[in-house]
Amino acid sequence: MIELARQLRYLAGQDAFRRNPASVLGRLTAWRAISVMGRKKHVIDLPSYGVSMAVPSEWHGIAKLIFAYRDFYDRELVWLSKNVSPGSVTVDVGASFGIYTLVAARAAGISGQVFSFEPATAAFDILKANVDRNRLTNVHAFRCALGERDGEGELYHHRDSSRNSLAHAAGMAGTSESVHLTTLGKVLDTAGVEKVDLIKIDVEGTEELVLKGCSTMVRRARPKIIIELSPARASAIGLRADGAWQLLASLGYKMYEIASGGRLCRVERSPQRLINVVAFPE
């Protein structure tokens, strides 16, 4: 009963559920059946964004949430879709199956660019397939992890692949793979990109390292930044719990949480819990 109550509270906080609870509950029921049937992949249409994507038919993970919530998968995605304009340059760090990449690429148009990074082989293959499915020629996809320097690392798999991490933590699947590490600054310099309009970062605790690897570009270009701040995961890796927050503040950024209806609410101090924020340069 306690777990059921927790799940209901979680659903009640989701915009898609508030808009149409019966539809979301029906899709969750359908996804349970789809995952049990053992199909390898399922295609989901996101009509508001003009894209479709194939995802693994697994009960655990973001595939279920994308299927259930569709165009209202999360508030940050809705915000991104309204803040990527034709011709803009977007960076998606921790792209997973590519929902942010696809939406940004469609919004940017053929005159824009999206640089998409996903280190896990299985997720990267799906990301690439989804880019091809939507015939997006403005996406540059890289199978690597981003940090503050070049090197090699071990990526530990989680049963929810969107939570794969460079540090072993609870809930891991017991498998891992070696991945190449580089910096966002180096990739963009090699590509000759000087202007970046928006960066999305979701890397399970290593956000501070990603920011350190592109701080020169951030100071110059002043992009908007969507970032997951994860104090507990950062600490588990051996980083400062508030490292990403403090670095953004030192770069002259103010942080806001997206509330219901798209309202931006100022976050005044470093959060103690996992939170997604939008950061704007002063």
Q: What is the mean pLDDT of residues 233-249?
A: 93
* Domain boundaries for CATH 3.40.50.150 within the chain: 74-281
Angle among Cα 25, 28, 29 to the nearest 5 degrees reads 90
* For residue 275, pLDDT beyond 90: yes
* For residue 171, pLDDT beyond 70: no
Looking at residue 266, what is its pLDDT? Answer: 96
Looking at residue 209, what is its pLDDT? Answer: 96
Q: What is the mean pLDDT of residues 80-103?
A: 98
Looking at residue 146, what is its pLDDT? Answer: 97
Where is pLDDT greater, at 241 or 165? Answer: 241
Looking at residue 220, what is its pLDDT? Answer: 96
Cα four-point dihedral sign 33, 39, 45, 51:
positive
* For residue 168, pLDDT beyond 80: no
Contact, 154 vs 147, CB < 8 A?
Answer: no
Residue with tokens 């891991």: 172
Looking at residue 1, what is its pLDDT? Answer: 65
Q: Comparing C-alpha atoms, which of 238, 192, 190, 195 is closest to residue 89?
A: 195
Q: Would you say how long the chain is, in residues?
A: 282
Task: Give the number of other CB atoms < 10 A from CB of residue 47.
Answer: 9
Looking at residue 173, what is its pLDDT? Answer: 67
* CA 20 from centroid of its chain's CA atoms: 24
Q: What is the mean pLDDT of residues 187-201?
A: 97
Q: Comparing C-alpha atoms, which of 120, 113, 94 is closest to residue 209?
A: 94
53 phi, psi to nearest 5 deg: -150, 145
Predicted structure pTM score: 0.94
Q: Does domain 74-281 have CATH number 3.40.605.10?
A: no
Looking at residue 212, what is its pLDDT? Answer: 97
pLDDT digits (tens, 9 = 90+) for 211-224: 999 999 999 999 99
* For residue 170, pLDDT beyond 70: no
Where is pLDDT greater, at 17 or 172? Answer: 17
Where is pLDDT greater, at 94 or 164? Answer: 94
